[in-house]
């Protein structure tokens, strides 16, 4: 337990340190524009973008030379003090919406976000209606016979017997 | 000469398949036993015929017949023989022959074994299978001919099956292009056939379902006959998906196993409907309900199998133009569309006959929860399908190209997967026919208490992330509820039969393999969920340039750069760059890792990560860049993927559980049929 606590303290210290370092880094990129942004800062943005010429390859893992240069472009823009949003916008302006990992929420694209939930809710509604439909005639014979509980196949009879044994034991 | 022979055999197979389909239809219509028998023999003939064509293709592949364009595209002299053989499915034309061959094998297996017993269905099974087979053979014969050759004519090279003019001579390139090196990984060599085994096996239950609709037999006979086919199909499809994921993790070098790529989703979609199908057929077997719904599920699965076959190979969903330019694209879509329409029309025609024999009694009964499970699986399907299709729609209507990537799928499917986990814990505890909150609560409260305790422990020791905690709670609930259910049964049997506990457990599970195989699968799913939660929520990464002796710290590890070396492997046509890094955890030295960058002479790069793998996490080191001459520094990208090994462990136990459930013993079709449920009303006559 002590070991665990120690590890935990260590970890908390580590994260606090990381946070401080991160804040320092942000601070320095904003105010001291001549420092070179780190690979991690570049990747953080590249991860949200897609290679403009390959099929379905995120920019941060794309191995091609072209992507390497695009990542350098992100670094350069970061060094110039541009924000994440500005850089992403730059890529959208130059290479189209396909560089974003999701369609922008405009116009027809809303369909991407709206259709699946609507269909699923419709499915749920139909299912619920069917349940109501199915259980209506039941009103007459709603006596809760315990023999109803088990199914009718031999498997279930076996299990029901097991469960009966279990009950008797207690 | 051999190429013409192979093509000729394919052509003959195509004609024989067409004959088999027509003869079966006319034979049944005219009640001509001899014509039906003739159809059956024609069907059986397709297997040796396609085998000969495939054998010819393999002979050409192995013996470097580069005058055949397919051989040129997928093999090269330097490739070992086994890779040349497996190059059979390394390109589109060959893989379609492979698909057709598998279908011929499976259909023959069905018609040869139980012809007398299943005579009422089999002529129609032959028809459905022949239509599918004829479609694939037709595509191969007309558009994707693997035997097409190169011809030199007037100084230029053209591709054609036969001599384009009398002056043309066969042109043989010195060497082939060779299989894409990414595909030479052992995982990738067996991944496509597993996927195809799964795809094609699903055609058999579909064919029987159609036969049941056509003949008007509305009981669960078709489900019993094909239960094992569906299970094996599901096994191979799952194996294919898992192998693909592992391959991506080991070879693609992006620190993950699943990227929600359209090609991956194409293979995932039939798995979703297939999973829903495997669950909901149980309701039909036990309760005689949901007949219409099961038909729809197997039809959807079939359509998605054809769609998936097409997508995984051609990748034509990348753009509208690629689709329009692909010679087979429109044909595939037309085929999927027509078979879908025809199948749905049959279901509608039989709709009144397919009414349930019993009523749904309670919202908490097992059948109701199974339906909810179906809703969730189809919900995931809708998200996947729409996500894959939407970029095409967008391009078509607005001209705007968009990407639908992982964030979309993860956000949309996350809650549905959580719901599935919850059902996985609860549904097995509910009773068929009738359950109340009380009975269900009584069955689950102990497991729920254990899950809550586990979640609290995780909260204090591991994470405070809300999503992760919900996920871990559900995982714990599945694990404890399922284990409890298994133990409860074993203990009851131990008591009842006065057996040793382990013997009781073994006999209990052995006597009802589908149920307990299913439980093992549920437990495995929970284990896999641990891995997925780990990598999705807790993955950390860093990248940096290191000089010799310098190190990067990440997730408790320290990775120290030592050296990098570069050399050519001429026979393999590849240049290796291999880095050596030392790995420490705290002060403890754990050993060396060797991340590699392989540059094939063809220009294809490949990143092989160095992995230090434990149950706690994977340290995954990629060599990104280096200084070519001095080798004094190199850039590494490092991921720490917590808990990801549980994904692979779960995948292995999943496959074991599935094999346990599917292993042949008594044929399900010979089992005593479920006694009729006397619900009193709307009894349809199923026995005639």
Residue A164 binned pLDDT confidence (cut-offs 50, 70, 90): low
pLDDT in tens, B520-540: 999 999 999 999 999 999 999
| Predicted local distance difference test score (pLDDT) of residue A20 | 56
Among the partner-chain residues A40, A97, A103, the one whose CB lies closest to the CB of B543 is A40
| Predicted local distance difference test score (pLDDT) of residue B351 | 85
Tally of structural domains, chain A: 2
* Mean of all residue pLDDT scores within chain B: 88
Same domain flag for A94 and A122 = no
Same domain flag for A97 and A84 = yes
CATH of the domain at A79: 1.10.8.640
By percentage, how much of chain B surpasses pLDDT 90?
A: 52
| Predicted local distance difference test score (pLDDT) of residue B631 | 65
Is B49 a residue whose pLDDT tops 90? Answer: yes
Same domain flag for A98 and A115 = no
Query: Does residue A159 form part of some domain?
Result: no
A84/B317: higher pLDDT: A84
With a CB cutoff of 8 Å and minimum separation 6, the contacts of B343 are: B210, B213, B295, B299, B302
Contact B233, B278 (CB under 8 A): no
Same domain flag for A57 and A123 = no
B389/B218: higher pLDDT: B389
Residue B483 binned pLDDT confidence (cut-offs 50, 70, 90): very high
Same domain flag for A24 and A98 = yes
Contact B443, B480 (CB under 8 A): no
Contact B654, B236 (CB under 8 A): no
Residue B409 C-alpha from the chain's centroid: 18
B45-63: buried (b, 16+ CB within 10 Å) or exposed (e) per residue? bbbebbebbbebbbebbbe
Contact B280, B293 (CB under 8 A): yes
**Exposed, middle or buried: residue B244 (CB in 10 Å: 0-12, 13-18, 19+)?**
buried
Rounded distance between C-alpha atoms, residue B232 and residue B221, angstroms: 18
Rounded distance between C-alpha atoms, residue B34 and residue B19, angstroms: 14
Same domain flag for A66 and A79 = yes
| Predicted local distance difference test score (pLDDT) of residue B580 | 92
Same domain flag for A56 and A110 = no
> Measured between CA atoms, how close is A34 to chain B, in angstroms?
19
Return the ∠ at Cα A22 (arms to A19 and A25), rounded to 5°: 155
B18 touches A at CB < 8 Å = no
Is A9 a residue whose pLDDT tops 60? Answer: no
Query: Does residue A119 form part of some domain?
Result: yes
> Measured between CA atoms, how close is B31 to chain A, in angstroms?
37
Residue A11 binned pLDDT confidence (cut-offs 50, 70, 90): low
Q: If you average pLDDT over each of A118-122, B152-156, B246-250, which comes out highest?
A: A118-122
Same domain flag for A113 and A98 = no
CA of B568: how far to CAs of A9, B388, B571, B575, B613, in Å?
49, 40, 9, 4, 29
| Predicted local distance difference test score (pLDDT) of residue A154 | 47
Token pair, residue B306, equals 């054809």
| Predicted local distance difference test score (pLDDT) of residue A161 | 63
Same domain flag for A35 and A115 = no
| Predicted local distance difference test score (pLDDT) of residue A136 | 61
Domain end (from A79, A103, A127): A103
Query: Does residue A77 form part of some domain?
Result: yes
Is B688 a residue whose pLDDT tops 50? Answer: no
Contact B194, B651 (CB under 8 A): no
B489 touches A at CB < 8 Å = yes
- Cβ contacts of A169 on chain B, cutoff 8 Å: 492, 495
Query: Does residue A147 form part of some domain?
Result: no
Q: Where are the beta strands (DSSP E) in B173-304?
A: none
Q: Domain span at residue A127?
A: 104-136
Is B189 a residue whose pLDDT tops 60? Answer: yes
Contact B211, B121 (CB under 8 A): yes
Token pair, residue B214, equals 């056509």
Same domain flag for A62 and A95 = yes
Query: Does residue A18 form part of some domain?
Result: yes
Is B211 a residue whose pLDDT tops 90? Answer: yes
The B residues from 260 to 289 touching A (CB cutoff 8 Å) are: 261-262, 285-287
Residue B347: CB atoms within 10 A of its CB come to: 18
Among the partner-chain residues A40, A137, A148, the one whose CB lies closest to the CB of B434 is A148
pLDDT in tens, B553-612: 998 999 999 988 888 988 777 889 999 999 999 889 999 999 998 888 877 788 889 999
| Predicted local distance difference test score (pLDDT) of residue A146 | 36
Is A16 a residue whose pLDDT tops 80? Answer: no
Same domain flag for A99 and A40 = yes
Average of per-residue pLDDT across B78-100: 90
Is A47 a residue whose pLDDT tops 50? Answer: yes
Beta-carbon separation of B492 and A103 below 8 A: no
B138 touches A at CB < 8 Å = no
| Predicted local distance difference test score (pLDDT) of residue B687 | 33
A146/A115: higher pLDDT: A115
> What size, in residues, is chain B?
688
Same domain flag for A62 and A131 = no
Among the partner-chain residues A43, A98, A137, the one whose CB lies closest to the CB of B359 is A137
| Predicted local distance difference test score (pLDDT) of residue B234 | 93
Residue B469 binned pLDDT confidence (cut-offs 50, 70, 90): very high
Beta-carbon separation of A50 and B403 below 8 A: yes
Is A138 a residue whose pLDDT tops 70? Answer: no
Is B344 a residue whose pLDDT tops 90? Answer: yes
Rounded distance between C-alpha atoms, residue B54 and residue B276, angstroms: 35
Residue B425 binned pLDDT confidence (cut-offs 50, 70, 90): very high
């Amino acid at each position: 337990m002590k070991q665990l606590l120690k590890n935990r303290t260590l970890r908390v210290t580590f994260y606090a340190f990381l946070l401080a370092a991160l804040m320092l880094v942000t601070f320095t990129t904003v105010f001291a524009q001549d420092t070179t942004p780190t690979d991690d800062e570049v990747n953080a943005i590249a991860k949200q973008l897609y290679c403009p010429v390959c099929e379905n390859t995120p920019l941060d893992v794309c191995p091609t030379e072209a992507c390497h240069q695009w990542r350098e472009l992100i670094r350069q823009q970061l060094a110039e003090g541009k924000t994440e949003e500005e850089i992403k916008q730059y890529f959208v302006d130059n290479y189209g919406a396909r560089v974003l990992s999701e369609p922008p929420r405009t116009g027809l694209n809303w369909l991407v976000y709206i259709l699946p939930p609507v269909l699923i809710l419709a499915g749920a509604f139909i299912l619920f209606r069917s349940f109501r439909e199915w259980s209506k005639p039941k009103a007459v014979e709603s006596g809760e016979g315990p023999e109803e509980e088990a199914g009718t196949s031999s498997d279930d009879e076996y299990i029901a017997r097991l469960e009966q044994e279990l009950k008797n034991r207690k | 000469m051999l190429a013409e022979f192979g093509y000729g055999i394919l052509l003959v197979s195509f004609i024989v398949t067409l004959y088999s389909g027509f003869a079966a239809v006319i034979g049944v219509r005219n009640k001509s036993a001899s014509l039906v028998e003739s159809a059956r023999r024609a069907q059986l003939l397709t297997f040796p015929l396609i085998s000969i064509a495939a054998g010819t293709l393999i002979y050409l592949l192995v013996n470097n017949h580069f005058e055949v364009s397919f051989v040129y595209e997928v093999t090269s002299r330097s490739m070992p023989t086994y890779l040349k053989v497996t190059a059979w499915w390394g390109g589109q034309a060959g893989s379609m022959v492979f698909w057709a061959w598998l279908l011929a094998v499976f259909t023959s297996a069905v018609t040869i074994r139980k012809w007398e017993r299943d005579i009422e269905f089999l002529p129609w099974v032959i028809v459905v299978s022949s239509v599918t087979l004829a479609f694939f053979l037709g595509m191969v014969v007309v558009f994707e001919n693997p035997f097409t050759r190169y011809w030199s004519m007037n100084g230029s090279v053209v591709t054609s099956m036969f001599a384009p003019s009398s002056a043309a001579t066969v042109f043989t390139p010195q060497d082939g292009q060779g299989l894409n090196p990414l595909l030479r990984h052992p995982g990738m060599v067996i991944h496509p056939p597993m996927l195809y085994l799964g795809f094609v096996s699903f055609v058999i239950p579909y064919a029987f379902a159609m036969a049941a609709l056509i003949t008007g037999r509305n009981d669960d006979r078709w489900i019993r006959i094909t239960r094992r086919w569906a299970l094996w199909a599901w096994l191979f499809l799952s194996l294919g998906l898992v192998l693909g994921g592992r391959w991506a993790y080991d070879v693609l070098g992006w620190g993950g196993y699943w990227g929600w790529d359209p090609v991956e989703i194409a293979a995932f979609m039939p798995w979703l409907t297939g999973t829903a199908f495997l669950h909901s057929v149980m309701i039909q077997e036990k309760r005689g309900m949901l007949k219409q719904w099961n038909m729809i599920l197997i039809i959807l699965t079939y359509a998605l199998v054809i769609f998936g076959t097409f997508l995984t190979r051609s990748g034509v969903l990348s753009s509208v133009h690629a689709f329009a330019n692909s010679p087979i694209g429109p044909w595939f879509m037309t085929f999927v569309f027509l078979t879908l329409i025809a199948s749905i029309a049959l279901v509608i025609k039989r709709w009144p006959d397919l009414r349930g024999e019993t009523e749904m009694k309670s919202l908490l009964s097992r059948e109701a929860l199974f339906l909810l499970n179906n809703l969730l699986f189809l919900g995931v399907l809708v998200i996947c399908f729409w996500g894959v299709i939407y970029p095409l729609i967008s391009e078509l209507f607005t001209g705007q190209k968009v990407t639908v990537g992982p964030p979309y799928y993860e956000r949309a499917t996350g809650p549905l997967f959580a719901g599935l986990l919850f059902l996985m814990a609860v549904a097995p505890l509910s009773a068929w026919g009738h359950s109340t909150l009380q009975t269900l609560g009584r069955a689950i409260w102990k497991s729920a208490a254990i899950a809550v305790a586990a979640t609290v422990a995780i909260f204090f020791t591991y994470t405070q992330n809300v999503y992760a905690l919900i996920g871990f709670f559900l995982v714990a609930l599945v694990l404890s509820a399922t284990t409890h259910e298994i133990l409860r049964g074993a203990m009851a049997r131990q008591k009842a039969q006065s057996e040793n506990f382990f013997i009781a457990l073994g006999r209990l599970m052995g006597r009802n393999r589908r149920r307990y195989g299913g439980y093992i699968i549920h437990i495995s799913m929970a284990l896999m969920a641990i891995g997925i939660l780990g990598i999705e929520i807790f993955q950390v990464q860093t990248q940096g340039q290191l000089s010799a002796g310098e190190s990067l710290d990440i997730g408790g590890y320290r990775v120290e750069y030592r050296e990098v070396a570069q050399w050519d492997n001429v026979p393999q046509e590849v240049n290796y760059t291999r880095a050596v890094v030392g790995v420490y955890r705290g002060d403890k030295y754990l050993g060396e890792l060797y991340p590699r960058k392989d540059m094939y002479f063809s220009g294809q790069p490949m990143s092989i990560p160095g992995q230090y793998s434990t149950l706690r996490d994977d340290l995954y080191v990629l060599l990104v860049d280096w200084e070519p001459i001095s080798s004094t520094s190199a850039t590494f990208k490092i991921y720490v993927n917590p808990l990801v090994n549980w994904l692979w462990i779960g995948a292995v136990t999943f496959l074991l559980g599935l094999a346990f459930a599917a292993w042949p013993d008594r044929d399900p079709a010979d089992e005593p049929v479920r006694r009729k449920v006397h619900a009193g009303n709307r009894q349809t006559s199923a026995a005639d």
